[in-house]
Structures are given as C-alpha cells and as structure tokens.
C-alpha cells in the first residue's frame, strides 16, 4: 500500500493532492499497526460468514481506494457484513502493471484483447488487499465470482455530442461514441462467462462543467440502453456518477424496486473532497456505499437465480444429479432415457473400481458417478444418458448420451472423482466413440488454491470419425489445454492432480441435437 501511495505521489501534481497523499501515508502506519495487533481474532460468527461468503474483486484507482477504506467510504466493511469476501487491484497490479490502466479505453486490454486471458486468470485468483480496509474473515476458497470495474473521474471528461451513437470502440479516443463502443465490445466476453457477475461502476463526476452533459448522457446510456438487448443476468451497472451529483440523486433498490433518480440540471460533483479536488468526499462515498449494497444484493440475487452450473474453477461441485432429472420435456422433442438408467447407486458419491489398473470406466458396473450439468438459462436444454446393452464396443454395455440444445446453449455429462488422483505414470487417455456431432472432451484438474476445478479441453470433430463405427480416440495429456475463457491456452493438463473427465456439448445459433455412445474409457502408456 505504501508503494501505491508513493506511486500516486510521483505521478500526480498539485499541492492539494501532495498534502492529501502525505496524510494518507502517515495514517497508513497506524493502520498497519492496527491490522498487526488485531489480525487473527476470530469468532464463530466470522467462521460462518467466511463459509457463506461470495468472493468479489474491485478494479479501481484512488477513488475506489477511498470508497473501500474503513476510514472513508467503508464499502469493504459493508460488503463483508453482507457476506462478500473483498479483494481489489490498484496501481501497479498485475501483468505489465495493467492495474495502472483503468480508463474506459483500457477495458478491452483487460477483457477482450490478446493478452486478456492471462490478466483475467490472475484477476480471478487475486486475494490481496491493496487499499486501507481490514478483512475480518478468511478466504472461503475458489475464484472471485463478482468483478467490479470502475474508471476514475478524468473519464467523465468525454468529448463529442450527447447523442453520438456507438463507434467500433477501437479508435482510442475519449469520446462518447468510442466509450459506448468499448463497452459494447466487452459484452461478447461477458456472455461467455455466465459463471461470473460483472458490475460496471460509472466514473465519478468532476467539478468542471465543460463536459458534464456528455458524462450524464453516457452514463444514462450505460444504465438504460447498454444491456437492452443482452438477456443474461451476469452484467449490471451501478451509476456512481449519478449518486455523487446531488443530495437526492440515487441508484439503489427501494421497496423491492430499482430506483434511478436525479435532478436535471446538475451534472457535476456535489461531494468534493476539498477545493480543487475531484475526489469524492467521505460523505459522498458513504452515501454511495448504502446505495450500492442494496443494488448489489439485488443483482446478485437475480444472477444466482439464473446462473447455470457448469464445472468452473470458481465453483465447488454440487451434489450428484439424479439422472431421472435429465428427462425433461422440450418444445421440440422429449429426450427419452431408458429405465435402466434408474440405477440404485444413482446419487451416491461412489468411484467405480476399474476392472484393470488403466481402466477409468468400461461401464460393466453400471453408470455410477456420472452426472449431468446443463445451461438452465436456456429453455429446452436437456441431456439424458443411459446404460446401452445393445450397442457397445465390448463387454456388456456402453454409455449412451442423448442431447438437445437450443441456440447458444450447452450441456455436460461428467464423472468427477471424490479425491484427486495421480495419473502421471500414464501418457494420456483413450476411449471408444460412435455417432454424435462435434463435442469437447474435458479433463478436470484440482485447483491449487481452492476447492474448485481447472478445465482442460480437446475438441473432437465428427468428420474425423465414421458415424456408425466404433472409433478409438487416443489423446496425450499435452493436447488438453485450458480454454481461453479460463486462463492461458498454452497451459496443459497436469495428470498428477486429476479430478475427473466429461463430455461437453455446445450449440451455435442453429441449435444442436444428437446421440453419442462412449465405451472403454482408459489410460495408455
């Protein structure tokens, strides 16, 4: 933290700012001593709060730092009271000090450009405190699920006309048109991560009225228009700009409804920290905290209600699904699962003892341990599976998977080990497949710092096999790589931390349906 304040001291100008930072440095030593004396004190209440907390990270600079601070806006403290485990980034954070770059024009670098997978991989795992707030609970484990991101007040100085339409968002200019284009570019990535909740916080206002109307127009566009044609519930906006422009201006939930109110005519900072200082005051930050907490709880509830349950690194595994639950009606077709699927072991956490040391599952003992995960946000998504005794590569039966996916949906048939296994004495995995279209094979790896899973994938194309003939697929470990949405695609699977495997089906704008048979899933040297 001292390094962050010194960075600000050397990169900002003005007597008011210098004095302010010096005061912060002096007060920081008191906070350090306080943290040191108080750290480690826990209660049953804090243990329960830790267990039930959702991990949140806030990308910000100085205004966000003050907002989080215990002695200023108190946001971190109130978030923790509401069962959020708070981490943050600040100046100097991350790869190539990406934390220095939080202007609107910088957001593509974080989320959609070539280097963003590595940045996001680190961001989702970040657990550090980079602002003066104290956490009273421990890390609940897993990844950050809620990502707040905010630009600082200079981003309220937008050029252009209030009615300008979005541009491509790639011209690097601080204009209304380019800013709209930037936020539109982000939605493609956000849509690919329904397991994360992204909160766009508008930039605080400034005291200069020159571009104030433009700032108001842009933030109204973010609140009312940006997500108009974006159905998922994993992106939301908090209009900090509005809250700080007037005593009676709010963006909050009141009486169960979202309230966005403001008085026309005032678009500048109502709560300055001091003369000539565009940082919001502690009073303004505390007001913003109250509004934001009510709104975040609302957004989080909506997202949780619509959130699909894929096996992501940020999630613990749910209890095994009863396969009979997969037999759902859809507008087009009912996926029928044979009655043999109602095995007496369904729902038990049980790892099948293989017939041979290298056999993961030959389905001779039924289908114990296999589960369904699917996109519940898309009506009609279904996947059923059964023991097929009439069509098998060998032995007495195979795994038959039937799937029906509406456009832009997914479903997964997975087997997850109750404990991680070391498979490093083997070179890869093989199985026999018949029928079906394109699909992905997932391997799961135990997350190093948490209870979640890392996903590694290989895509199988239907054109590489004959549809009515059993084909053996042999894939070395090194060919299973992290998907871009999860991290670094150059990272390969570590067999010493194996946690399971899955067959994953996705659909494009056309939708997909089909049937695939799997047999003799085993390891090879």
Cross-strand bridge partners of residue 444: 455, 500
In the chain the first and final C-alpha atoms are separated, in Å, by 51
* Displacement of CA 309 from its chain's centroid (Å): 12
Distance between CA atoms of residues 50 and 163, nearest Å: 46
**Spatial CB neighbours of 158, under 8 Å, sequence gap ≥ 6:** 174, 175, 176, 179, 211, 214, 215, 218
Give the DSSP per-residue string, 184-234.
Answer: HHHHHHHHH-TTSEEEEEPPPP-S--TTHHHHHHHHHHHHHTTTTT---SS
Provide the pLDDT for residue 344.
30
Place of tokens 């905290």: 289
Backbone angles phi, psi at 302, to 5 degrees: -65, -45
Q: Is the CB of residue 274 less than 8 Å from the CB of residue 282?
A: no
Q: Read off the DSSP letter of residue 87.
A: E
Q: How much is the pTM?
A: 0.56
DSSP run (H or E) holding 64: helix 62-68
Closest CA to 437 of 508, 491, 373: 508
Domains and CATH numbers, the chain: 1-40 (no CATH), 42-306 (3.40.50.1110), 323-524 (2.60.120.430)
What angle do helix axes 15-38 and 2-11 make, rounded to 10 degrees?
180
Provide the pLDDT for residue 348.
29
Q: What is the pLDDT along the chain (525 residues), one digit of tens a residue?
A: 444 444 444 444 444 444 444 444 444 444 443 344 333 434 555 666 677 899 999 999 999 999 999 999 999 999 999 999 999 999 999 999 999 999 999 999 999 999 999 999 999 999 999 999 999 999 999 999 999 999 999 999 999 999 999 999 999 999 999 999 999 999 999 999 999 999 999 999 999 999 999 999 999 999 999 999 898 999 999 999 999 999 999 999 999 999 999 988 889 999 999 988 999 999 999 999 999 999 999 999 999 988 764 433 333 333 333 323 333 333 333 333 333 332 333 232 323 334 457 889 999 888 888 999 888 777 888 999 999 988 999 888 999 999 999 988 889 999 998 888 899 899 999 999 998 888 999 999 987 766 678 899 998 887 777 778 899 999 999 999 988 766 677 888 999 989 999 999 998 878 888 999 999 999 998
Q: What does the H/E/C string look like for 90-145?
A: CCCCCHHHHHHCCCHHHHHHHHCCCCHHHHHHHHHHCCCCCCCCCCCCCCCCCCCC
Q: Is the CB of residue 244 less than 8 Å from the CB of residue 270?
A: yes
Provide the pLDDT for residue 195.
92
Q: Which pair of structure tokens corresponds to residue 293? A: 């907490």
SS3 343: coil
DSSP run (H or E) holding 285: helix 282-306
Distance between CA atoms of residues 168 and 183, nearest Å: 10
Provide the pLDDT for residue 318.
35
Provide the pLDDT for residue 336.
34
Q: Is the CB of residue 434 less than 8 Å from the CB of residue 511?
A: no
Q: Is the CB of residue 488 less than 8 Å from the CB of residue 114?
A: no
For Cα atoms 28, 32, 37, give the angle at the middle one, nearest 5 degrees: 150
Strands 235-238 and 197-201: parallel
Distance between CA atoms of residues 319 and 316, nearest Å: 10
Provide the pLDDT for residue 23.
47
Q: Is the CB of residue 183 less than 8 Å from the CB of residue 227?
A: no
Q: Which pair of structure tokens corresponds to residue 398? A: 């195979």
Distance between CA atoms of residues 402 and 337, nearest Å: 8
Place of tokens 């897993």: 142
* Displacement of CA 292 from its chain's centroid (Å): 20
């Amino acid at each position: 933290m001292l390094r962050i304040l010194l960075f600000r001291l050397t990169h900002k100008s003005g007597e008011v700012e210098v004095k302010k930072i010096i005061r912060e440095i002096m007060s920081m030593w008191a906070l350090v001593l306080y943290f040191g004396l108080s750290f480690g004190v826990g209660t049953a209440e804090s243990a329960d709060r830790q267990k039930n907390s959702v991990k949140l990270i806030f990308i910000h600079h100085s205004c966000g730092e003050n907002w989080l601070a215990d002695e200023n806006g108190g946001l971190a403290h109130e978030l923790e009271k509401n069962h959020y485990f708070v981490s943050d980034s600040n100046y100097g954070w991350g790869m190539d000090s990406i934390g220095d770059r939080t202007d609107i024009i910088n957001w593509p670098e974080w989320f959609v450009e070539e280097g963003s997978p590595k940045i996001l991989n680190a961001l989702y795992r970040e657990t550090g405190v980079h602002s003066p707030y104290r956490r009273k609970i421990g890390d609940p484990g897993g990844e950050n699920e809620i990502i707040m991101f905010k630009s600082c007040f200079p981003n309220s100085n937008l050029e252009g006309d209030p009615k300008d339409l979005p541009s491509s968002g790639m011209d690097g200019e601080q204009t209304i048109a380019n800013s709209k284009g930037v936020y539109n570019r982000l939605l493609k990535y956000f849509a690919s991560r329904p397991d994360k909740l992204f909160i766009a916080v508008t930039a605080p206002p400034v005291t200069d009225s020159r571009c104030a109307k433009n700032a108001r127009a842009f933030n109204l566009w973010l609140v009312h228009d940006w997500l108009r044609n974006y159905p998922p519930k994993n992106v939301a906006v908090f209009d900090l700009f509005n809250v700080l422009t007037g005593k009676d201006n709010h963006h909050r939930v009141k009486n169960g409804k979202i309230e966005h109110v403001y008085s026309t005519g005032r678009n500048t900072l109502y709560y300055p920290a001091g003369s000539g200082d565009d940082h919001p005051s502690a009073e303004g930050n505390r007001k913003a905290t109250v509004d934001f907490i009510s709104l975040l709880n609302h957004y989080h509830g909506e997202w949780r209600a619509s959130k699909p349950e894929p096996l992501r690194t940020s999630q613990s595994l749910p209890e095994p699904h009863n396969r009979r639950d997969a037999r759902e009606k859809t507008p087009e077709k009912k996926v029928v699962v044979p009655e043999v699927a109602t095995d007496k072991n369904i729902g038990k956490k049980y790892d099948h003892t293989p017939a041979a040391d290298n056999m993961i599952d030959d389905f001779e003992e039924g289908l114990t341990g296999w589960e369904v995960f699917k996109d519940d946000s898309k009506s009609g998504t279904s996947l059923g599976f059964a023991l097929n005794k009439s069509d098998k590569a060998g032995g007495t039966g195979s795994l038959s998977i039937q799937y029906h996916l509406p456009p832009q949906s997914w479903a997964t048939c997975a087997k997850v080990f109750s404990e991680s296994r070391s498979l490093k004495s083997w070179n890869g995995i093989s199985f026999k497949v018949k029928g079906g279209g394109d699909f992905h094979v997932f391997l799961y790896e135990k997350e190093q710092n948490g209870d979640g899973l890392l996903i590694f994938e290989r895509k199988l194309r239907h054109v590489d096999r004959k549809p009515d003939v059993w084909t053996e697929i042999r894939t070395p470990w090194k060919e299973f790589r992290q998907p871009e949405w999860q991290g670094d695609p150059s990272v390969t699977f570590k067999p010493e931390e194996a946690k399971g495997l899955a067959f994953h089906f996705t659909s494009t704008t056309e939708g997909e349906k089909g049937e695939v048979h799997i047999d003799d899933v085993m390891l090879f040297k």
